[in-house]
Amino acid sequence: MTKPIQQLSLELNHEANQHINLIPGHIIQDIEPLISLSQLAATQQPALPISFGWTSDRLPPKGCKSVTRRFWSPRTATIMQSYLEQGRILPAVDKQRCYGGKQIGWLKLNGLGRSPLSKLTWEDCQLEGYPELTPTQFLARFFEGKELSEEPWVVGFEYEAIMPEIEVA
């Protein structure tokens, strides 16, 4: 028995609506229109950048980096927390601007907390963009000289690369 297209469409929409009702309200509120981070950034005041001098090759689309660990001053941590709460878009740079750094992309923070270096896991290494490193290797490479009890800020983010300009002949 075949159903008219209109009836089938209504049934599918009803089924989809039932699934949408299962999504927690805070997730629905966080859904933004489909615009790029650079378009969002254009509507905001300039923000402090985050530098990826040692790890820019691990950012998407080449890599899978979606977390970074930072030892920030209380002032910088407070600013970053406000950026997270406000949904601000931040520039990602290839090195600190005082050393000639250039913007390579845009960031939207999606998590911010502290965790002792001793709690670093293999999954954390993956999120940092280094699935080939063990936690011990990761700590030796990026946190040499730090105590395992020290607690850097763990910063989750969404990254969007700036597309290089193409010259038209």
Query: Tens of pLDDT along 61-87?
Result: 989 999 999 999 999 999 999 999 999
Q: How far is CA 96 from CA 71, 93, 137, in A?
A: 15, 7, 25
| 126-145 average pLDDT score | 97
Residue with tokens 């030892």: 71
Q: What is the pTM of this model?
A: 0.71
H or E, element range at 98: none
Asked if omega into 164 is within 30° of 0 (cis), the reply is no
Q: Is the pLDDT of residue 4 over 80?
A: no
How many other CB atoms sit within 10 Å of the CB of residue 146?
12
DSSP codes, 32-52:
--S--HHHHHTTS-----EE-
Superfamily of domain 32-161: Sulfate adenylyltransferase (3.10.400.10)
H or E, element range at 103: strand 103-114
* Structural domain boundaries in the chain: 32-161
So what's the pLDDT on residue 47?
83
Confidence of residue 46 (pLDDT cuts 50, 70, 90): confident
